[in-house]
Amino acid sequence: MRIFCKPSRTTRFAFLVALIVLVTGAFAAADESTGTWTGNLRVQGNYYWETSTRVVAPEVRATLVSPDGVVISAGYLIDAITSASLAAGVIEDIRFTETRNQGSLSVGREFDLGEAQLRLSASGLVSHEPDYLATSLSLNGTLSLNQRTTLISVGLGYIHDNVGSVLRGANAGASDPGGRMLSDRGRVGQLEGMNLSAGVTQILAPNLWMSAEYNLLVNNGMLSNPYRAVMVQGVLTPEAHPGQRTRHTISGRLAYFVEPTRTAIHLMYRSYLDDWELAAINPEVRIYQEIGDAVTLRVRYRYYEQNRSFFFRESDVFTADDPFVTADPKMGAFHSHLLGFRGLVMLRFLANTPLDFLSRGSFDVSVDYLWQTSRFGNAIMAQSGITVPF
C-alpha cells in the first residue's frame, strides 16, 4: 500500500516561497540595524577511498550573522569521483572521473517569546552531476524553554531527484546520425521524498545533557540503480527495487563532561527500520580531550550491523518469477567497525605574524578507517579544514 502522495506544485511552491520570504526578511531586518555583521568562513577538504571508488571533495562554507541575529549560511562543494564500478555506469575495465557540484543556502532567525525563544530556518540544496540532479527544501523550528535548558525541534523536508543514465567506456561516446550521444540515455526516472523529524535536547545537570530524535522518510519513485544489472537464470537483468520505501530512524546521545580532567564522553545510539524489512543498529562512543586552551583531541569507535531486505538474494538464486531483483550490497546483511581520530588546534600562536588574520581561527584534521564485511570492502575517510571568524 502506498502511503506517499507526490507533493503538488502548490506544496513545492509553498516551500520555495517560505525560503524566499525568510531570505528577504533576513536582509530587510539587517538593513534596519546599524550594527556590524559577523560570521565565519570555512574551507575544507574531504577524501574517501575504497576498493573501486575514490572521492576528493573540496568545499567552502560561509556564515553571516546580522546585528539582530539573522543567520545566513551558504556552501559550495565539488566532488571528483573516480570509480571503476559497474554500478556507476562503467561498461569495461577502466576508471573514470565524474564531477558533482553542490550548492546550499539557509537562513534562520530567532524570535523572543518572553520566557521562550523560537528559531525558524529554511534551507535549500541543489546537487548536479552528469546523470543526476537532486534538489531539496526544508523548514525547521526549534523552541527553547526553561532558560534554554530544554530544546524541542521539528523539521519538514522535500526532495526531488531526476535520475539519468550515462555509460562510460571506449565506445560510449559514439553518436547516431542525428548527433545524439548514445552514451547519454537521458532521464530514466525520478525520486521524490518527504522527511519529518522531531527531537528534544535536555540539559540534565551543568555537565550532563541528552538528546533524542525521531526521523521519518518516505520515498517514492526510482529506488534502484539504473546501471546495476542482476544475473537471473543466466540472463543479465536490470535491477528492480520496490517503488516506495518508508524509513524510520530513532537516535539518541548522552554527553558527560569530566571537569577535573577536561574530558567529554559522548554515548550515541541509532536504530533503523524500514518496510523493506531492513533493520540496523549503530552504537558509537566518542571521547574528547582538551589539552591546554588550544588543542582538542577526539577518538571515536562506531559499530554497525544490519540484516537483509526481504527481496535480497545471491545473484545466482533469483528466478524470472521474482518481482524484485537486486545486486546492491547494501541490501544484504553485513556489519562494520569504524575507528577515527580528530585533532583541533586554535591558531592563536599566529598573532602578530604575517598570518595574524588567521589567529582567531582553528585548524582541524580527522582520519577514519572503516572495516566492513560487504562487497564494498574497507574504506579510508579523511577531512581537513580551517575556520576563520570575521
pLDDT score for 96: 67
Give the pLDDT mean for 340-350. Answer: 97
Look at residues 304, 295, 296 and name the one whose alpha carbon lies nearest to residue 251: 304
**Domain residue extents for the chain:** 1-194, 228-390
Phi-psi region of 234 (alpha: psi -120 to 50; beta: other; left: phi over 0): left
Each residue's pLDDT tens digit, 222-240: 999 988 889 888 888 999 9
- Residue 190 pLDDT > 50: yes
CB 109 within 8 A of CB 127: no
Residue 173 CB coordination number (10 Å): 12
Residue 376 backbone phi and psi in degrees, to 5: -65, -25
- Confidence at residue 30, expressed as pLDDT on a 0 to 100 scale: 47
Whether pLDDT at 3 is above 50:
no
- Indicate the pairing of strand 132-145 with strand 117-129: antiparallel
Specify the range with the lowest mean pLDDT, choosing from 31-45, 111-125, 146-160, 316-330. Answer: 31-45
Three-state DSSP at 86 gives: helix
pLDDT in tens, 41-82: 999 999 999 988 899 999 999 999 999 899 999 999 999 988
> What pLDDT sits at residue 164?
86
pLDDT at 6 (0 to 100):
47
Alpha helices (H) in the chain, listed in sequence order: 9-31
Q: What is the pLDDT of residues 277-314, one digit of tens each?
A: 999 999 999 999 999 999 999 999 999 999 999 999 87
DSSP character for 99?
Answer: E
Spatial separation of the C-alpha atoms in residues 211 and 225, rounded to whole Å:
35
For residues 146-163, give the mean pLDDT: 96
Cell numbers for 170, please give them.
571506449
Task: Tell me what percent of the residues of the chain surpass a pLDDT of 90.
Answer: 70
Q: Where are the alpha helices (DSSP H) in 244-304?
A: none
C-alpha cell at 371: 572495516
